[in-house]
Structure 1
């Protein structure tokens, strides 16, 4: 048996800085399941721009896309406010103007290669969902540089870096291989869980196979009945 076949890939959390439900799952992971959060491979899920789509097609891949109706968008506004309030989270709905999702997500890859991925996500999530800032604005991403101790231009211009573009396409191919159609999405080998309400089941399944991931008695319990899965109908924001 080859080494590739013997090596099992770590469990994965597909997240998107575009999706409010992904943000809620992120907060739940850190607050209620920190051991699991630390054990996961965090993979960005983003709608490709024209260049990434071309590179993806040339690599034999495709990206799932489902347009969202105005009625669904209005519902999500209400739903996310309810779920955020139940968690005691401050929430500000951002306004996206001509977004290019490579800007924040390849910025994450740039931070991750310096070992600062988790801190980057914390800053980007706060900027978008608590402060209502445009994370597709390179100036917003550049502002993370000082707090992370990283070069601001490297973060802000990550989408111009050919190596990070290529890495982004590899991520998009992983999305297709894992059958990811929305976020938050959790994968462990052949088992898949979609939506913030599936997080407890995912955590329990991991703990059953790995006792070190069992919840600590001192960890706060997840909110009862506060997790509701909703398909918000656009790329990068389902669940």
Structure 2
């Protein structure tokens, strides 16, 4: 039975995804290389139609006022603990496809991780609007990308379909918030569970045993990571 790679769902919307990104690339680079990086966000009408055409759905529960204020406090607290000065973004006219589809375009150029780092920096440290194509253009120039491909990604039909498939995979994986780390049947939600996910990977036990078609257990094998060539929200902030 074919086993899927270790994977994580992330969003540029989520401050907890930003913290998880920092931990992955700084503390656990080997795991970051092993993971499949899958963007996840609240879709606009076009992406929602593509999801419906594929039979997938996106579940979004608006955040309560009390939860919003709690997250503001919590993110400031975590930022202080990490020595980070954060800016809380104001999303007046959000279109999450602008940044997330541009990530897919950057990934095609082998620059997905560099792009993600710059988007997180722009949004959570510099207070820039990541829904503005000018911000995406500046990031593209900074990382040496094909700038036109990044800026035009939101209008690219092929990338739209790739984005819809990413969200559909999230639906199949039962994603309800980000960051979410997945291997086999096991899920680890939130930046505070990243260390446990890494420990399970190191032990070769993340996901336990996969089920074979006849119901028999298939051993996970001795290699804790499934490596591949290139590594490169809504609905709750993890």
TM more than 0.5 = yes
Residues in 2 aligned to 1:53 and 1:97: alpha-carbon distance in whole angstroms: 20
Aligned match for 2:133, one of 118, 129, 138: 138
Map of 2:234 onto structure 1: 235
Any idea what SS the aligned residue of 1:182 has?
Answer: coil
Map of 2:116 onto structure 1: 121
1:112-162 deviations in Å (ceiling 9; x for gaps): 001000000010000000011111111101111212212222111201001
- Gapped runs of 5+ residues in structure 2? 205-221, 226-232
**Conservation of the 8 A alpha-carbon contact between 2:40 and 2:167:** yes
RMSD (CA atoms): 1.4
**Conservation of the 8 A alpha-carbon contact between 2:59 and 2:235:** no
Residues in 2 aligned to 1:211 and 1:172: alpha-carbon distance in whole angstroms: 29
Residues in 2 aligned to 1:114 and 1:34: alpha-carbon distance in whole angstroms: 20
Aligned match for 2:84, one of 85, 89, 106: 89
Map of 1:180 onto structure 2: 175
**Conservation of the 8 A alpha-carbon contact between 2:16 and 2:190:** yes
1:130-209 mapped onto 2 (5 Å cutoff): 130-209=125-204
Give the Å deviation of 1:31.
2.0
Give the Å deviation of 1:211.
6.5
Map of 1:47 onto structure 2: 42
1:62-73 mapped onto 2 (5 Å cutoff): 62-73=57-68
Map of 2:207 onto structure 1: none
Give the Å deviation of 1:74.
1.3
Residues in 1 aligned to 2:86 and 2:33: alpha-carbon distance in whole angstroms: 25
- Gapped runs of 5+ residues in structure 1? 214-233
Residues in 1 aligned to 2:96 and 2:68: alpha-carbon distance in whole angstroms: 19
Aligned match for 2:19, one of 15, 24, 29: 24
1:92-122 deviations in Å (ceiling 9; x for gaps): 1111111000100000000000100000001
**Conservation of the 8 A alpha-carbon contact between 1:45 and 1:236:** no
Residues in 1 aligned to 2:84 and 2:25: alpha-carbon distance in whole angstroms: 13
Residues in 2 aligned to 1:198 and 1:31: alpha-carbon distance in whole angstroms: 16
TM-score if structure 2 supplies the norm length?
0.86
Any idea what SS the aligned residue of 1:75 has?
Answer: helix
Residues in 1 aligned to 2:113 and 2:135: alpha-carbon distance in whole angstroms: 17
1:151-182 deviations in Å (ceiling 9; x for gaps): 22211120100110010111011001111110
Residues in 2 aligned to 1:77 and 1:153: alpha-carbon distance in whole angstroms: 35
